[in-house]
Amino acid sequence: MIAIVTGANSGMGKATVAALADKGYEIIMLCRDSKAYGQSKLVRLENYVD
């Protein structure tokens, strides 16, 4: 399954990304701040890569 999450680099969006990733979703993260997105993406990848 695929989910699109807005505001994915902080707050509720970030928590939603984590919860969906735990359930095996592929996630498309939408963020206004590309620098914050890059940092958030790296943290997510480190947590969920096999």
Alpha carbons 21 and 27: distance in angstroms, whole number: 7
In a domain, 25, yes or no: yes
pLDDT of residue 23: 92
In a domain, 39, yes or no: yes
Q: Which residue type occupies 34?
A: S
Alpha carbons 29 and 12: distance in angstroms, whole number: 13
5 pairs with which residues across the strands?
A: 29
Instruction: Encode pLDDT of 23-42 as tens digits.
Output: 988 888 887 766 665 655 55
Query: If you average pLDDT over residues 5-33, what whole number do you get?
Result: 85
DSSP 8-state secondary structure symbol assigned to residue 32: S
In a domain, 14, yes or no: yes
User: How many domains in the chain?
Assistant: 1
Domain residues for the domain of 23 are: 2-45
In a domain, 50, yes or no: no
